[in-house]
Amino acid sequence: MISTTRHLADGREIVYFDSARRPRDAVDTRDLPPVATRSQVRWDPLLGEWVVIAAHRQTRTFLPPTDQCPLCASTPARATEVPEAEYEVAVFENRFPSLSLSVDRDVPPNADGTPLVTLRPGEGRCEVIVFTSDHDRSFVDLGAERARLVVDAWAQRTEALSAEPGVEQVFLFENHGEEIGVTLAHPHGQVYAYPFLAPRVQRVLTQVAAHRAATGGDLLAEVFDAERTGSRVVTANEHWTAFVPGAARWPYELTLVPHRRVPDVAALTDAERDAFVEVYLDVLGRFAHRFDAPMNYISSWNQGPVSQTVDGAGREDWWLHLQLFSFRRAPGKLKYLAGSESGMGAFVSDTSPEGVAEELRAVVLP
Active site residues: 188
CA distance 336 to 264: 31
CA distance 97 to 119: 18
CA distance 188 to 209: 35
Which helix (H) or strand (E) segment holds residue 236: the answer is strand 233-236
CA distance 317 to 311: 12
- What phi, psi does 213 have (nearest 5°)? -65, -35
> C-alpha distances in angstroms, 32 versus 10, 72, 95, 238, 338?
5, 18, 10, 49, 41
CA distance 271 to 202: 30
Cβ atoms 283, 179 nearer than 8 A: no
Which helix (H) or strand (E) segment holds residue 287: the answer is helix 270-289
Which residues are 297's β-sheet partners? 176
CA distance 44 to 64: 35
CA atoms within 13 A on the CB side of 237: 14
CA distance 255 to 223: 11
3-state helix, strand and coil shares in percent for the chain, rounded to the nearest 5: 30, 25, 45
Residue 191 carries which side chain, given as an amino acid letter? V
Which helix (H) or strand (E) segment holds residue 156: the answer is helix 144-162
CA atoms within 13 A on the CB side of 43: 14
Which helix (H) or strand (E) segment holds residue 214: the answer is helix 199-215
- What phi, psi does 159 have (nearest 5°)? -65, -45
Of 341, 250, 239, nearest to 287 by C-alpha is 250
Residue 125 carries which side chain, given as an amino acid letter? R
